[in-house]
Amino acid sequence: MHHQRSLRVRAAIVSAVLACAATAWAQKPKYSRSSDVKINVKISDRVKPIDPNAEKPAAKQPSVSADQILNIEGLVGEIREEQAALLFDLIKNTPDSEAEEKADLYFRLGELFAKQQRFYRLKAAEYAIAADTETKSSAKASAKAKSEDSAKKSKKALVDAVKIYKALTDNEAFRNYPQMDKALFYYGFTLQGGTYMKEARSVYDKLLKNYPNSKYVPEAHLAFADYHFENNQLADAEDRYRKVLKYPKSNAYWYAMYKLGWIDLNLSRYKDALEAFLKVAEGTKNDKKQDILNKAAKKDFVRAYAEIGKAELAYQAFQRVDRKYAFTMLTMLGDRYLEQGKSEKAIYIFQELIKTAPKDKNVCLWQYNIAHSMLTVSGDDDKVKEIEKLTRMWGVLRDRKVLPKAEAEECHDNAAAMSGELARAYHSESVRTKNPTTLAYADKLYHVYLEVFQDAADYAETQYYYAELLWTRAENEKNPRLQTELFENSAIAFTDVVKLGKVSPELIKTAAYAAVLSWKNALNVDPRVKDTPVDDDKEYDKVPAKLPIPEREQKMLAAFDIYINYVKDPKDDELVGMKFLKANIYRRYNDFDSALPIFEEILEKHRDHETAEYAANLLLDSYNRLKRYDDMLAVATKLDNDKKFLEGKDKLRETISGLRITYERKVAESCEEKAKQSGDLSGFVECAEAYIKIFNRDTNAKDADVLLYNAGVMFEQGKSIGAAISMFSKLAKLYPDSKQTARALAKLGNNFGAVAYYDKAADAYEEYASKYAGEKDAFDAMSSAVFYRKGIGDDGKAIEDTKFFIKTFGSKNPDKAADAFFSLTTVYEKDRDSKNRTRERRKYEDANAQVIKHLRQYISQYGKKGGADRLITAHSKIGLALWEQSCPGTTVDGSCVRVTRERAVAGKRDKRRKGSSQPTQCGPESKIKLVTVNRDERMVKDAMSAFSKAVAEYERANGKTGGNEGGARYFYAQAKFYQAEKDYEEYLALRFPRGLDFDPKNPGIVKRSRKRFDEWYEAKSKTGGSARSKYEATIGTKDAASAIAAAARIGQIQQNFSDALFTAEIPESVRTGQFADEKVEAFCDALTEKAEPLAAKSLEAYGACLSKSTELGWFSDWSRLCERELGQIEPDKYPTAAELRDTPDEIAPITDIERPAFKLE
């Protein structure tokens, strides 16, 4: 009610802010700053691109040696000094004449030293490896010392072994020693293990010359083959290796084959090399002793394949070599391609590896290899994508903690180097070239690095570089919308740098200032940013609730706070501006507790700053929204008295003046609010008097009509209805053309209705609807007028109002118009039913004709548009009106008949004594005697036509009529019931034949009587059956009222049949004469034989009628009829005492309810 006034106040305040602020802030040029950042760029070996022109690794030496392959059993072990000393003593004490025994002692002693040499040599290697892998310095030093000690012991044992073997093999006395070939082999093998290759070959040469058939010949040839191979004498080496192959059972056989593959490899015979390595791999499969050689062959198969094979077929080829080892071979191939600089093939292989084994511990290494290879073969876009993928992969694997320690460290270092170092490299390049694409690449890599490596040592420095990069991107962006987003991102990034606080104090200050400037640019550049007044009309009745400040604005507030905390000069213009912007954000999100002190500080301490005027306006607006009108008036008064401050501020001065003028209005509105909250009726009256007081001060005021209206509403809510009527009447009189007058007329109708002046209420509603038909509530007003007119019995005016309603609102509300028109039926029916049909038959028939005319007009005008339910009802009602009027007299139980009968009394039975006067009928006098009265045939025909239309409409809709479906079903059932009624009255009209005689003494007469009786009986049965089937169909409609009526009629059909037989007149010729008793008895026996089963059926039907009534909980005149007739037929069993049941509580379902206030919704 008072919202419009308050909105004008707010609009004045906020518009003043917008008009000025738009000039002072929105049109400022873009804020700029010097951004000469020096990026610290360092490129490690992990990031340096693979040089495709670099020298390829030589493929000359295999990774396995003969020493590893031969691995002579037993020729390794630690010996005790006592063993050697014992053998020395035995040699010394054995005479030379015992040559073979003494030679064997030498052989055993040499073997002991050879074992010792090999044992310590292997231990030295073992400790050396441990020293390389140990992380603790003490453990590393211990392992190194042990390695050196073992090497010394190995050297000593070697010297001792050589001395002994030399003494044995050079002594001619031992020439025929049976194991001399073995001794020579051990001698050469020991020299070979000590890397005395020349001396070893000399020993092997002696073995070959002196013992050509020794089983150690292949090993001797192998020594010479390896010598030639190592000296790149490949032809000689090949010749010797092939000599070894002549001994397929030799331990050296597969090693020789393996080395032939290496010769093929070095001679670029890659296909032959593949075949040789494949043979070795297959020949050594499942042989644990040859496991080292088997793996070496498969590894070098990969080396050969890398030269001539297709990368996309590699996995299949490797599976043919060894299905279980194929995946490992594929990883070797990827590494080999990397070594060769075949980056594209390497990328393919590593992508396949990741696809095949995404959970492998080396998956991160493979992705690094892909990203690293991309640096040499692909465009920058692909490079950056793969580096991002690598970095995010590390982040996921790190969080899941699935990698072993070594692989995790490697993955971390690779991802950090690739993303962090290349981000700086791209950034550095973009500073020089200003290329936006390069800037974007740096942006992506910075972003992913900062996202994943938040614990990195250079995180803060990188974060600062990233913020500077975003600033540079924003400055160079041409698209205004995208530039806004970039400046916003820059602001957030600089703010994050300051919050982290891990850069130098100088950089923190730079970042703080840059964050504020970024926010300013974000707000300045985007053309969508518009500060519009909040539409508080919807929520004016509530003090605005504090709203959550979005994250974007929170970051902006944080940037302001950072600037405010670092800039301490109170005269700094930017500092005051930051404070104002901060307060305004709080105000926009209804955090007045935070905003108000800042606005007040600006007014108190920075009155000359350009934001002071805006602060004043927004301070007043905030108090207004908080409904703190006293505070608002105090500020307005204080400012109004400060003439110097208001100089040149015309809009602010106008606002302040308006606020003081409306203060009393605010007080009245506040009074209204309190009254609504408390519900105190006297409080509403006080508010009304406050509005009257304001009105009386200036009756010519622009809003004087509103004040009167408000006063009337307050009186109305305070239940001072007379005073409210007085206010609304005065408003209508003084301001007839006011919009408030229209609302007042509606209010007058409400108030007259409240005090039961229904005629005046109707008058007010009619006036309102006629004058303001275009108003949205005019429809409701006329609806209320009709309601009241009908309520007070002013049917003529109700009809007139209804017709006005239809004419005025019908085109826009056709369904409501149909409803209204149809509702007049009850008015016409009421008029008809007020006429006595017997005494005022003419008037009754005229009124009935008006009902029929009105319903036919409804069907013609609205038809189905008014709803299928009403259409069915209209047709059925027309039929009912015509059927009722078609009977010239008064109906009996709904039938057009005259009835005579005697009431049956319980316990009373007429017993005729033989010889007494004869009866005129066979049954008791309580049996019904009726005569049908002819109906008006035309009316009956029209009625049946109307009933047929009602039935057809209902069945076409399949019962889904919409609207009042229960009422539609009732009138559908009524139509079917009265269709059966026509057959029922035709059935009643069939008169019993007269003059029948069944005396067996007159067979001819009996035969003719029987024929006439049978014809009557058959016609009666057929007509009754037709009516019965239609009544049963009526029961099938499941309408309770009609079902009970139909059940009663079914009983009456059977009863009428039996009653016709019981009440048939006994011919005079039968009941007179000499044998009257016998003749009457024969006559009645013939009729009773037929009548009694029918009577029994009627009892059954009436009993079913009562059962159905009980089942449905529906007791009506029809159920009373069934009860009554049961009492007539068997009064002893069914007494008709009315006191046994109250009067009927149901006649038919209420189907013509007039809806409230036409109420047709």
Region 930-954 average pLDDT: 90
The answer on pLDDT for 590 being more than 90 is yes
- CA 1087 from chain centre, in angstroms, equals 81
Is the model's pLDDT at 837 over the cut of 60?
A: yes
Kindly tell me if the per-residue pLDDT of 491 is higher than 60: yes
**Residue located via tokens 């003059």:** 995
Neighbour-count burial for 251-265, b at 16+ CB within 10 Å, e otherwise = bbbbbbbbbbbbbbb
Q: What is the reported pLDDT for 1157?
A: 32
Q: How far apart are the first and last CA of the chain?
A: 28
**Whether residue 469 has pLDDT greater than 90:** yes
Cβ(632)–Cβ(659) below 8 Å = yes
Q: Which residue in this structure is represented by tokens 């890397």?
A: 195
Residue type for 1072, please? Answer: T
pLDDT digits (tens, 9 = 90+) for 247-283: 998 888 999 999 999 999 999 999 999 999 999 999 9
Identity (one letter) of the amino acid at 864?
K
pLDDT in tens, 985-1037: 888 888 888 878 777 788 888 888 888 888 888 888 888 889 898 988 988 88
Percent of the chain with pLDDT over 90: 26
pLDDT grade for 769, boundaries at 50, 70 and 90? low
What is the C-alpha to C-alpha distance for residues 85 and 217, in angstroms, rounded to an integer?
A: 33
pLDDT of residue 89: 81
Q: Is 898 helix (H, G, I), strand (E, B) or coil?
A: strand
* Overall average pLDDT of the 968-987 stretch: 90
Over residues 1-12, mean pLDDT: 46
- pLDDT computed for residue 23 by the predictor: 37
- Whether 62 and 296 have beta carbons less than 8 Å apart is answered as yes
Q: How far apart are CA 823 and CA 795, in angstroms?
A: 12
The answer for residues whose C-beta is within 8 angstroms of residue 866's C-beta and 6 or more apart is 815, 818, 819, 821, 822, 858
Return the pLDDT at 524: 60
Q: Which of 32-46, 241-255, 528-542 holds the top average pLDDT?
A: 241-255
Residue-wise pLDDT tens digits, 1087-1146: 777 777 877 777 778 777 878 777 777 778 888 888 887 877 777 777 654 444 455 555
- What pLDDT does 19 receive? 44
Average pLDDT over residues 631-652: 86
pLDDT value for 214: 85
Confidence of residue 413 (pLDDT cuts 50, 70, 90): very high
Could you give the C-alpha distances from 129 to 64, 292, 531, 923, in angstroms and in order?
17, 18, 73, 134
Share of the chain above pLDDT 70, in %: 81
The CA–CA distances, whole Å, from 14 to 8, 26, 589, 611, 760 equal 10, 16, 15, 14, 47
Q: Which helix (H) or strand (E) holds 897?
A: strand 897-900
Q: What is the H or E stretch that residue 932 is in?
A: strand 929-932
pLDDT tens digits for range 878-907 = 999 899 988 988 888 888 988 776 555 555
User: What is the crossing angle of helices 592-605 and 612-625, to 10°?
Assistant: 140
Residue 99: the pLDDT is 78
The residues that bridge with 290 in the sheet, in sequence order, are none
Q: Distance (Å, rounded) from C-alpha 725 to C-alpha 714?
A: 11
Higher pLDDT, 252 or 916: 252
Supply the DSSP symbol for 1065.
Answer: B
The one-letter amino acid code at 1016 reads W
Helix 681-697, helix 721-734: angle, nearest 10? 20
Kindly state the average pLDDT of the residues 443-453.
95
What radius of gyration, in Å, describes the C-alpha atoms of the chain?
60
Higher pLDDT, 1125 or 15: 1125
Residue bearing the bigger pLDDT, 344 or 1052: 344
Q: What pLDDT, on a 0 to 100 scale, did the predictor assign at position 2?
A: 47
Query: What pLDDT, on a 0 to 100 scale, did the predictor assign at position 168?
Result: 82
526 pLDDT higher than 60: no
Mean pLDDT confidence for 690-707 = 77
* pLDDT tier for residue 67 given thresholds of 50, 70 and 90: low
The Cα–Cα gap between 666 and 81 comes to 117
Residue 142 has pLDDT above 50, yes or no: yes
- The reported pLDDT for the residue numbered 228 is 86
In sequence order, the β-bridge partners of residue 897 are 932
| Strand, coil or helix: 211 | coil
What's the pLDDT at 877?
Answer: 92
Q: State the pLDDT at residue 349.
A: 95
Whole-angstrom Cα distance, residue 446 to residue 141? Answer: 43
